[in-house]
């Protein structure tokens, strides 16, 4: 029944459409954290349930897939991390430890669902069509936030995560239907590579026209996020892929376009200019040794305050506070914001992850034990799951790199080879984003990443039909 209908093809199409577009409204809260169960979790859970029924009916064909062994090793590694955190460190309440473990399984399950959705080259087209639609609608909503006061739904802190409908101010960066501007930027940096390369490589005129329109609409949204790492990750990924595909002349317009975008985007321009001084100051504060000085212990002074008599005839006068017009906002100190962002990473989040790793270099200190953000997924993996988790995860990534490298040097590339190389560029872009963004942990980007990797795997495995 499943094999004839290919029920996973519409499931993946729905997920590619639904996950980017549904805002993070909480469905039910979880005790001990402001991370909530949401509708997208339920949709994914239903998809996984269908996949499990399929596996039971056909006696678990998933174990015949070569890469499954690598995932089993990774699952054992994070389970070991969970057991260690539960029995020894007790870093979080049991329900939170289970939640973090189950979310990892939930994210990666979409990899195997995506594999089952691709039976031929035509199935890639359906996924691409829904990616175009979702990217276009994400862009439209982003413009609505910027110019028409569309509401912002964010999970940047515990109050926002309750599903409050906020509005953008002058200094707020666009997040569209995502929970934060960094997540949106990470998504667009990958989607724009796929759309651009399909436009360049595909010979169908209508596919070219529609792809170009969506790309032109979506690219400015990436610049409006003002995410420095994502825009450079996009540039690196697209230029590398074009170089591999020997489309050398196309590299020039993309380099020029990104350069002009940086120059014309005031927010992005200021943040880039503020990055170098912030890094210099950070290096100075971390390398220069501070000599402690002995200071005398202060003796508290006793001050006697004589209360003034209250006059009965005095009546309180209300203070009138006049609000400024809504179009007037206080000046934003970009330098201070960039410096603060760097200090949080370098002085708080990254050292916290390193200290968690040092507790137990084999299994780490447990999933979710170093709070919800590290802004470096590699350090986060080391801190939470130790060498076992980090090495087993990177082994999965290395599998794709090893499988793709021979395709780069092939003279005659098939359609599947071209698709694989496009996904390879997207993988490199995601790995670059992971240096400063938790792309493997944030639900929207993690879901979409593993869907992409499932499609990537099928492009490597399926043989081209004559």
Q: Average pLDDT for residues 42-60, to the nearest whole number? A: 95
Q: Average pLDDT for residues 416-423, to the nearest whole number? A: 96
**Tokens at residue 362, please?**
């084999």
Phi, psi for residue 371 in degrees, rounded to 5: 70, -175
Non-local CB neighbours of 374 within 8 Å, separated by 6+ positions: 349, 350, 352, 353, 380, 383, 438
Helix crossing, 443-461 with 8-21: angle to 10°?
150
Q: Average pLDDT for residues 278-303, to the nearest whole number? A: 49
What letter would DSSP give residue 158?
A: T
**Tokens at residue 22, please?**
């549904």
Q: Is 70 exceeded by the pLDDT of residue 334?
A: no
Structure-model confidence comparison of residues 29 and 17, the more confident one:
17
Q: Is 90 exceeded by the pLDDT of residue 171?
A: no
Contact 21, 38 (CB under 8 A): no
**Whole-number pLDDT of residue 104:** 93
**Whole-number pLDDT of residue 172:** 67
**Alpha carbons 200 and 205: distance in angstroms, whole number:** 11
**Whole-number pLDDT of residue 463:** 65
Q: Is 70 exceeded by the pLDDT of residue 338?
A: no
**Alpha carbons 78 and 81: distance in angstroms, whole number:** 5
Question: For residue 419, with 0-12 CB atoms within 10 Å meaning exposed, 13-18 middle and 19 or more buried, which class applies?
Answer: buried
Phi, psi for residue 37 in degrees, rounded to 5: -80, 130
Q: Is 60 exceeded by the pLDDT of residue 314?
A: no
**Whole-number pLDDT of residue 319:** 45
pLDDT confidence band for 165 (50 / 70 / 90): confident
Q: Is 70 exceeded by the pLDDT of residue 232?
A: yes
Q: Is 50 exceeded by the pLDDT of residue 281?
A: yes
**Whole-number pLDDT of residue 363:** 93
Q: Is 70 exceeded by the pLDDT of residue 278?
A: no
Q: Is 90 exceeded by the pLDDT of residue 155?
A: no
Query: For 13-25, what is each residue's pLDDT tens digit?
Result: 999 999 999 988 8
Following CA atoms 193, 194, 200, 206 in sequence, which dihedral angle do they give, to the nearest 10 degrees? -130
Q: How many residues does the chain have?
A: 466
Sequence-separated contacts (24+) of 339-344 with Cβ below 8 Å: 339/274, 339/277, 339/278, 339/281, 339/282, 341/278, 342/275, 342/278, 342/279, 342/282, 343/282, 344/375
Using the CB atoms, write b or e for 283-309: b if 16+ within 10 Å. Answer: eeeeeeeeeeeeeeeeeeeeeeeeeee
**Whole-number pLDDT of residue 161:** 67
Whose structure tokens read 């667009």?
188
Phi, psi for residue 35 in degrees, rounded to 5: -75, 125
Structure-model confidence comparison of residues 300 and 358, the more confident one:
358
Average pLDDT of every residue of the chain: 84
Contact 81, 385 (CB under 8 A): yes
What letter would DSSP give residue 4?
A: H
Q: Is 90 exceeded by the pLDDT of residue 326?
A: no
**Whole-number pLDDT of residue 4:** 57
Least confident of 102-111, 213-222, 302-311, 395-404: 302-311
Question: For residue 220, with 0-12 CB atoms within 10 Å meaning exposed, 13-18 middle and 19 or more buried, which class applies?
Answer: middle
**Tokens at residue 294, please?**
């002995």
Q: Is 60 exceeded by the pLDDT of residue 188?
A: yes
pLDDT confidence band for 156 (50 / 70 / 90): low
**Whole-number pLDDT of residue 160:** 67
**Alpha carbons 352 and 33: distance in angstroms, whole number:** 19
Q: Residue 278: which of 232, 335, 237 has the closest Cα?
A: 335
State what percent of residues in the chain have pLDDT above 70: 79
**Whole-number pLDDT of residue 275:** 60
Tell whether the torsion through CA atoms of 37, 74, 115 and 452 is positive or negative. positive
**Whole-number pLDDT of residue 221:** 95
**Whole-number pLDDT of residue 102:** 92
pLDDT confidence band for 342 (50 / 70 / 90): low
Q: Average pLDDT for residues 398-403, to the nearest whole number? A: 96
Q: Average pLDDT for residues 50-58, to the nearest whole number? A: 95
pLDDT confidence band for 340 (50 / 70 / 90): low
- Residues linked to residue 166 through DSSP beta bridges, in sequence order: 152
Contact 450, 114 (CB under 8 A): yes
pLDDT confidence band for 329 (50 / 70 / 90): very low
Least confident of 32-36, 38-42, 336-340, 393-397: 336-340
Contact 190, 428 (CB under 8 A): no
**Whole-number pLDDT of residue 168:** 67
Helix crossing, 228-244 with 415-433: angle to 10°?
150
Query: For 360-391, what is each residue's pLDDT tens digit?
Result: 999 998 888 887 678 899 999 999 999 999 99
**Whole-number pLDDT of residue 208:** 97
**Whole-number pLDDT of residue 273:** 67
**Whole-number pLDDT of residue 239:** 97
**Whole-number pLDDT of residue 265:** 75
Contact 202, 247 (CB under 8 A): no
Non-local CB neighbours of 438 within 8 Å, separated by 6+ positions: 373, 374, 375, 376, 377, 380
**Whole-number pLDDT of residue 444:** 93
Q: Average pLDDT for residues 228-235, to the nearest whole number? A: 95
Q: Average pLDDT for residues 157-165, to the nearest whole number? A: 68
Q: Average pLDDT for residues 244-271, to the nearest whole number? A: 88
**Alpha carbons 84 and 79: distance in angstroms, whole number:** 9
Least confident of 88-102, 104-118, 258-272: 258-272
């Amino acid at each position: 029944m499943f094999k004839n209908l290919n029920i996973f093809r519409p499931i993946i199409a729905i997920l590619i459409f639904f996950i980017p577009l549904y805002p993070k409204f909480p469905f039910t809260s979880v005790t001990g954290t402001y991370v909530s169960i949401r509708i997208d979790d339920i949709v994914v859970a239903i998809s996984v349930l269908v996949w499990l029924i399929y596996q039971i009916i056909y006696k678990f064909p998933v174990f015949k897939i070569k890469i499954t062994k690598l995932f089993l090793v990774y699952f054992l590694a994070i389970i070991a991390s969970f057991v260690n955190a539960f029995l020894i460190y007790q870093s979080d309440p049991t329900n939170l430890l289970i939640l973090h473990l189950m979310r990892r399984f939930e994210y990666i399950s979409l990899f195997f669902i995506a594999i089952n959705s691709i039976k031929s080259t035509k199935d890639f087209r359906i996924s691409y069509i829904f990616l175009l639609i979702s990217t276009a609608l994400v862009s439209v909503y982003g413009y609505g936030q910027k110019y028409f006061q569309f509401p912002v739904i964010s999970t940047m802190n515990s109050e926002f995560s309750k599903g409050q409908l906020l509005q953008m101010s002058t200094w707020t960066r666009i997040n569209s239907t995502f929970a934060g501007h960094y997540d949106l930027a990470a998504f667009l940096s990958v989607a724009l590579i796929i759309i651009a390369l399909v436009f360049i490589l595909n010979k169908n005129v209508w596919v070219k026209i529609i792809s170009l329109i969506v790309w032109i609409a979506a690219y400015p949204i990436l610049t409006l996020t003002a995410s420095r790492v994502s825009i450079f990750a996009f540039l690196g990924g697209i230029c590398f892929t074009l170089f591999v595909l020997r489309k050398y002349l196309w590299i020039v317009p993309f380099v020029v376009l990104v350069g002009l975008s940086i120059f014309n985007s005031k927010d992005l321009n200021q943040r880039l200019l503020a990055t170098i001084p912030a890094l210099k100051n950070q290096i100075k504060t971390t390398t220069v040794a501070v000599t402690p000085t002995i200071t005398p212990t202060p003796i508290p002074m006793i001050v006697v305050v004589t209360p003034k008599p209250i006059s009965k005839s005095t009546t309180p006068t209300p203070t009138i506070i006049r609000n400024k017009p809504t179009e007037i906002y206080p000046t934003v100190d970009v330098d201070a914001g960039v410096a603060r962002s760097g200090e949080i990473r370098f002085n708080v989040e990254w050292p916290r992850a390193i200290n968690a790793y040092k507790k137990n270099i084999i299994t780490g200190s447990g999933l979710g034990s170093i709070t919800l953000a590290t802004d470096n997924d590699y350090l986060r993996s080391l801190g939470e799951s130790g060498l076992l988790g980090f090495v087993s995860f990177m082994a999965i990534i290395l599998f794709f790199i090893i499988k793709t490298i021979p395709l780069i040097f092939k003279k005659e590339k098939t359609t599947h080879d071209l698709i694989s190389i496009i996904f390879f560029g997207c993988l490199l872009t995601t790995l670059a984003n992971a240096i400063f963004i938790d792309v493997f942990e944030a639900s929207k980007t993690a879901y979409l990443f593993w869907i992409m990797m499932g499609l990537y795997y099928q492009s490597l495995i399926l043989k081209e039909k004559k």
